[in-house]
Amino acid sequence: MYEAVHAHPDGQSTVARLAKTAADYGFEGVVVRNHADARAEYDPERIRDEYGIDVVEGVEIRTDDRQSASGAVGNYRTTKTIVAVHGGTNAMNRFAVEQAKVDVLAHPMAGDGDINHVLVKAAVENGVRLEFDLSGVLRQSGGRRVRTLQSLRKLREIVDHYDAPYVVSAEPTSHLEVRAPRELKALGEELGFTREFIEDGLAEWGRLAERNRHIHSESFIEPGVERGRYEEES
């Protein structure tokens, strides 16, 4: 299971601290999803060796207009393992689900963003994962939290119906906001998700990272075509 984090300077803790905490809590990996305007400097290999946890380089593209978003997706696609789009407005939600190059549409229901059957169908077609963002449930209270819960339920019902791909995250911005997978599963159960649903959503980050690393690797040429092991001609 993986957690997708905002590290310093986007959040308050460095990648290493978040990775150490996540490893301690039983995660198998962290995805660094800093916004493109606040990128973190870190050495994934060194953190992996030190704390025994996978560190995935990702990016979350945050912009208001489709053109710059499109450019950013093109730029980061080749260098980052996971490319997410900061959702939360109808325009960006629409943009993200229609782009096969985008891996994850982050928190589509945040702010005044919304999701409907058309967008979810497009997401299924393009393989864009919709994110269930639990941070609002964990860190808000009162009426705002109720609204967050309502939006999570709406998203869950549509995603269930179309069997759309999804990821789950608590979106921590510091090591204090990380919650262990068991806690997240217990929380999900209270909210009407099943344990398997949450576990699957947390594991999906890892599967996504593995798939994209494979695609980025040198042996991969195009789907179904790979460089095999051939005898060297002498």
**Distance of alpha carbon 122 from alpha carbon 211, whole angstroms:** 21
Q: How far is the CB of 153 from another protein (least distance, A)?
A: 15
Among 73, 7, 3, 74, which residue's Cα sits nearest to residue 43?
7
Q: Of 41 and 231, which CB lies nearer to another protein in the complex structure? A: 41
Binding stretches for another protein (CB under 8 A): 8, 12-14, 16-18, 20-21, 24-25, 43, 46-47, 50, 137-139, 141, 145, 174-180, 182-184, 186-187, 189-190
Q: How far is the CB of 177 from another protein (least distance, A)?
A: 7
Q: How far is the CB of 223 from another protein (least distance, A)?
A: 37
Q: Of 122 and 187, which CB lies nearer to another protein in the complex structure? A: 187
**Distance of alpha carbon 48 from alpha carbon 50, whole angstroms:** 6
Q: Of 143 and 228, which CB lies nearer to another protein in the complex structure? A: 143
Q: Of 121 and 182, which CB lies nearer to another protein in the complex structure? A: 182
First-to-last alpha carbon distance for the chain, in angstroms, is 46
Q: How far is the CB of 141 from another protein (least distance, A)?
A: 6
Instruction: Write out the two tokens for 198.
Output: 């949450």
- DSSP per-residue letters across 153-185: HHHHHHHHHHT--EEEE---SSGGG---HHHHH
- Give CA angle at 77 (76, 80), nearest 5°: 65
Q: How far is the CB of 29 from another protein (least distance, A)?
A: 17
Q: Of 8 and 33, which CB lies nearer to another protein in the complex structure? A: 8
Hey, what amino acid is at 131? E
Among 125, 79, 121, 126, which residue's Cα sits nearest to residue 103?
126
